[in-house]
């Protein structure tokens, strides 16, 4: 697969595993709808467990990217929705564990994190959408 030309902007220093901005020269864009913690059979993964839901959400994003001919190396933006402020620490912990495998070069896409009162179903605690750029 052809490498995506990308350059990150990290000023001021980000608060976590993300970049302030990313410049890409893209040929095609892939817009990944918000993914939630449902497995391939439509079953909830991680009831009341933000870490488990976060892991499943990134797994789902990976499947969508692969089916579109992309990978996490093509992701240029995430938007994350968390239910309640108490979800932030376990989300950050899960992301810290997951990201080295997804982004071995430590070049993280920009991420906007939003706190919400709820998602489409009460048991969902995490939803993440992504935009990927193909060369």
Structural domains of the chain, ranges and CATH numbers in brackets: 5-134 (3.30.1330.40)
> For the segment 16-25, what is each residue's pLDDT rounded down to a tens digit?
777 777 677 7
Q: How confident is the model at residue 44 (pLDDT cuts 50, 70, 90)?
A: very high
Q: What is the mean pLDDT of the chain?
A: 90
Torsions phi, psi for 68 (to 5 deg): -95, 5
Tell me how crowded residue 77 is: count the other CB atoms within 10 A of its CB.
19
pTM given for the model: 0.88
pLDDT of 16 reads 74
For residue 9, what are the β-bridge partners?
Answer: 21
DSSP at 122: T
d(CA 39, CA 57): 9
Query: Max CA-CA distance within the chain?
Result: 42
Q: What b/e string do you get for 8-34 counting C-beta neighbours within 10 Å, with b at 16 or more? A: beeeeeeeebbbeebebebeeebebeb
């Amino acid at each position: 697969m052809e490498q995506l030309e990308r350059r990150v902007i990290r000023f001021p220093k980000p608060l976590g595993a993300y970049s302030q901005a990313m410049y890409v020269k893209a040929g095609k864009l892939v817009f990944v709808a918000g993914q939630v913690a449902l497995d391939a059979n439509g079953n909830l993964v991680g009831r009341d467990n933000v870490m488990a839901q976060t892991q499943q959400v990134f797994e789902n994003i990976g499947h969508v990217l692969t089916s579109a001919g992309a990978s996490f190396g093509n992701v240029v933006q995430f938007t994350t929705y968390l239910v309640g402020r108490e979800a932030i620490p376990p989300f950050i912990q899960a992301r810290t564990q997951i990201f080295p495998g997804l982004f071995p070069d430590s070049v993280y896409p920009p991420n906007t994190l939003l706190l919400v009162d709820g998602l489409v179903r009460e048991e969902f605690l995490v939803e993440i959408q992504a935009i990927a750029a193909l060369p």
